[in-house]
Amino acid sequence: MQNPENNDGVKTKASTKHRRLASAEPGPPSPALRRPREQRFLNRELSRIDFNDRILALAEDRSLPVLERAKFLAIVSQNVDELFQVRVAALYEQLAVDATTTSPDGLSPQAQLSEIRKRVEALVDRRSRIFKDTLVPDLDAAGIRYSQWKELDDDDRAHLDQVFERRIFPVLTPLAVDPAHPFPYISNLSLNLAVVVRQGPHIPPLMARVKVPPLLDRFIVLPDGERFVPVEQVIAAHLGSLFPGMQVQAQYSFRVTRQTDFDTDDGASDLLVAVESVIRMRKRSPMVVRLEIEKGMSAWVRELLVRELELDDSQVYPIKGPLDLQGLWALYALDRPALKEEPYSGVTPPRLAPSAPGHGVDIFSVLRQGDVLVHHPYESFAASVEAFVDQAADDPTVLAIKQTLYRTSTTESPIVKALIRAAEGGKQVVALVELKARFDEEANIAWARALEEAGVHVVYGVVGLKTHAKTSLVVRQEAVGIRLYGHIGTGNYNPDTARIYEDVGLLTANTNLGSDLTELFNYLTGYSQRRDYRKLLVAPVTLRPRLLELIAGQAHEGGRITIKVNNLADPQIIDALYDASLAGCQMDLIVRSVCCLRPGVPGLSERIRVRSIVGRYLEHSRINRFGTPGVDAVYYIGSADLMVRNLDERVEALVPVAEPSLTARLDEILSVNLADDVLAWELQPDGSWTKVPTRVGVNTHKRLQELAVARARGHEVEPVELVG
């Protein structure tokens, strides 16, 4: 195991992660604390695996278009890879430093790893069965045929011979493994062939490694455009070309997963250099946490790989079927619209729509008349948030633009281009670029440099914290003086994810919110120590205590709490919710992914219900409602999930929504989610998830899409019956 620190201002998770987990202990004593931890909390990592089980249910739903199901298999494969690279790696690092920390539910690192192993084995077996038993036959029926080398005729093989000779052979590098050739470095998530060769019948076998370069397509498409063959099978059929004069006895696919998550030392002299060092470490990470092998691999080859990679058998995962089903993204990219969901483009929010074709809309004038709530992807990100920043960039009366950027597009970012244009036009432009956004560091570094070259003031955030807040501020000179306009949202300023992530945001000219955003940006870019805000709730300053106050305020008979988040894992918040339930509060929690709260437990959480919506769009918005709608309800939307990292280790911002027409929209979103009986799952007291039986046929994504289109067309929209 490498030293926890290196000379580039980078720390491994072993030096910090177990201390962060320790900080997740519950806060002040409460009635819920009478229960042992294991009765109050579900395990975060196992809950994450359960979420992927719910995605697999979509992959095996044969009522869905077949390429959508292929996409869901690819998503699960991607999610499991990240689980091992980040979360499992952190647990192995805790073992390496003999950390005594247990998870909030009372499990040691070793116990968590053991349970993760069982759950992942079952998940991967299910994924393989879905691929073989339903996806492949249904693709075949649709004219997209998964073919194996042994099934091909002479003409097909002749074509692939040419493909191999021209495109594949030149980029392959066989590496011998023997006393003269040390075991090669196996790069993270690379697909490889372990090839067993002999020089003669009486000479011991040797092993060589052939890496499948990532620049090659995962599947090779045959000339008819309908059949596809795994690239490793094409390589395997031509191994004689790589080892002339040798007897190729066998070949087996394998793949390794390495630790990729490293802490950046915020005290480093140059944060940009430190983050670039993280990227380099990720590419040459020393710790392997998982070895996936083709089922049927010989014991000799398996033992050699385990020994050389310094693993034990608990880290080896035999896979039946092709490895790395992330390659199914290539199939999803095929131009076969009939095999996908019908395309949908978000509509323009009615108040931001031009009065006539060809006419523009003055967004600033609209906002002076009242706030605008936007809901993506049902309402267009381009016609709302992008248009807001775009107009600010070109408006001669705009003096300054300030913007946070957490995850940006890798190829095209209209908002970044607008900021560059504004700076080149002489405006004061500040961009807070979060370099430490995991797996987006390289894209963010590239955009940060482009912004700096254009004259934008680029800052990288607050020492010791990630900046996760989604905020934008425009300073405009008007006849009445300086006026401030802003946007506070739940999603990233990313045009790609805005089409598939469900998010909400508030566009506003509210004076108090503008002042709060000004103070927040001063905190992000300077040395402001402001600890109170007029309207915003800001982590790690005011957010946690205010949320606890709001929860406690509903801890009585007749109290109501409805919360929609991605993840609910903070022990102190969970215990506060238990206490509110014990006091008589009725509670509905809509949690997309990780949920560590146990609902429906007698004497603890009988009044708490938890559901998850999993479907076409990724549920990403965070909406918090405390109280009874139409009576005393208080609403907040924003960037923060209910996790330790969001409340204590990041800069987050939640904004209140008070205007009745806008709170009615939030009520509508929550009610549709709670009425759903097509995409919804419910969490049981024992931690299992059950599918909600379909009786009425409410599909959240279709219903909200219908409502958005009806509004855009000027149709009267009947109020959705309040649920929860």
Nearest Cα to Cα of residue 460 among 427, 436, 429, 496: 436
Q: Are 429 and 456 in contact (CB under 8 A)?
A: yes
* Residue 541 within a domain: yes
- Quickly list DSSP for 256-300: EEE---EEE-TTSS-HHHHHHHHHHHHHT---EEEEEEETT--HH
How many CB atoms are closer than 10 A to CB 691?
14
- Quickly list DSSP for 593-649: S-B-B-TT-TTTTTTEEEEEE-SSSEE---EEEES-TTTT-EEEEES--BSHHHHHS
Token pair listed for 80: 């499991």
Token pair listed for 82: 């990240």
Low-confidence spans in the chain with pLDDT less than 50:
1-26, 268-269
Same domain? For 356 and 334 the reply is: no
654 DSSP 8-state letter:
E
Per-residue pLDDT, 4 = 35
* Residue 4 within a domain: no
Per-residue pLDDT, 59 = 98
Per-residue pLDDT, 270 = 58
Neighbouring residues of 165: CB distance < 8 A, sequence distance ≥ 6: none
Phi-psi region of 225 (alpha: psi -120 to 50; beta: other; left: phi over 0): left
Same domain? For 415 and 544 the reply is: no
Per-residue pLDDT, 624 = 98
Same domain? For 274 and 305 the reply is: yes
Q: Residue 304 and residue 250: Cα distance in Å, rounded?
A: 15
Q: Are 99 and 109 in contact (CB under 8 A)?
A: yes
User: Three-state DSSP class for 97?
Assistant: coil
Neighbouring residues of 509: CB distance < 8 A, sequence distance ≥ 6: 364, 367, 368, 371, 483, 484, 485, 486
Same domain? For 485 and 567 the reply is: no
* Residue 475 within a domain: yes
Per-residue pLDDT, 14 = 40
Neighbouring residues of 481: CB distance < 8 A, sequence distance ≥ 6: none
Per-residue pLDDT, 263 = 62
Q: Residue 126 and residue 132: Cα distance in Å, rounded?
A: 10
CA distances from 689 to 42, 60, 412, 594, 598 (A): 12, 17, 38, 12, 11
Per-residue pLDDT, 97 = 84
> Cα-atom radius of gyration of the chain, to the nearest Å?
27
Distance of CA 518 to the CA centre of its chain: 29
In degrees rounded to 5, what are phi and psi of residue 421? -65, -40
Same domain? For 575 and 691 the reply is: yes
Token pair listed for 211: 């890496």
Nearest Cα to Cα of residue 66 among 161, 153, 134, 156: 134
In degrees rounded to 5, what are phi and psi of residue 566? -80, -45
Same domain? For 331 and 358 the reply is: no
User: Three-state DSSP class for 41?
Assistant: strand
Instruction: Indicate the Cα dihedral angle 155, 158, 162, 164, nearest 10°.
Output: 110
* Residue 316 within a domain: yes
Q: Residue 666 and residue 623: Cα distance in Å, rounded?
A: 8
Q: Are 542 and 654 in contact (CB under 8 A)?
A: no
Same domain? For 600 and 688 the reply is: yes
CA distances from 592 to 377, 410, 532 (A): 17, 25, 31
User: Three-state DSSP class for 546?
Assistant: helix
For the chain, count helices (H), then strands (E): 23, 29
Domain that holds residue 299: 10-339
Same domain? For 27 and 128 the reply is: yes
Neighbouring residues of 108: CB distance < 8 A, sequence distance ≥ 6: 102
Last residue of a domain, one of 339, 366, 392: 339
Per-residue pLDDT, 71 = 97
How many CB atoms are closer than 10 A to CB 717?
11
Per-residue pLDDT, 715 = 85
In degrees rounded to 5, what are phi and psi of residue 635? -120, 140
Per-residue pLDDT, 457 = 92
Q: Are 548 and 542 in contact (CB under 8 A)?
A: no
Query: Catalytic residue among 376, 468, 487, 701, which?
Result: 468
**Domain count within the chain:** 3
* Residue 244 within a domain: yes
> Residue 118: which CATH number?
3.30.1840.10
Phi-psi region of 464 (alpha: psi -120 to 50; beta: other; left: phi over 0): left
Angle between helices 543-552 and 571-582 (to 10 degrees): 10
* Segment (H or E) for 388: helix 387-394
Same domain? For 212 and 71 the reply is: yes
Token pair listed for 574: 């969970």
E strand segments, 509-593: 537-539, 560-565, 586-591
Cβ burial of 182 (10 Å; 0-12, 13-18, 19+) is exposed
Count, residues in the chain: 724
What pTM was estimated for this model as a whole? 0.91
* Residue 507 within a domain: yes
Strands 650-657 and 537-539: antiparallel
Same domain? For 301 and 404 the reply is: no
User: Three-state DSSP class for 197?
Assistant: strand
Q: Residue 529 and residue 197: Cα distance in Å, rounded?
A: 67
Per-residue pLDDT, 21 = 36
Q: Residue 669 and residue 719: Cα distance in Å, rounded?
A: 11
Per-residue pLDDT, 17 = 40
> Residue 601: which CATH number?
3.30.870.10
Last residue of a domain, one of 292, 310, 339: 339
H helices of 491-530, where? 511-525
User: Three-state DSSP class for 454?
Assistant: coil
Same domain? For 331 and 214 the reply is: yes
Q: Which residues pair with 290 in a beta bridge?
A: 257
* Residue 328 within a domain: yes
Residue entry with tokens 């052939």? 210
CA distances from 203 to 206, 297, 485, 584 (A): 9, 21, 77, 78
Same domain? For 463 and 569 the reply is: no
Active-site annotation holds for 556: no
Rounded to 5°, angle at Cα 504 from 499 and 508: 120
Last residue of a domain, one of 500, 525, 550: 525
Residue entry with tokens 């970044």? 416
Q: Which residues pair with 66 in a beta bridge?
A: none
Put the strands of the sheet holding 227-230 in their side by side order: 145-146, 227-230, 219-221
How many CB atoms are closer than 10 A to CB 141?
10
* Residue 720 within a domain: no
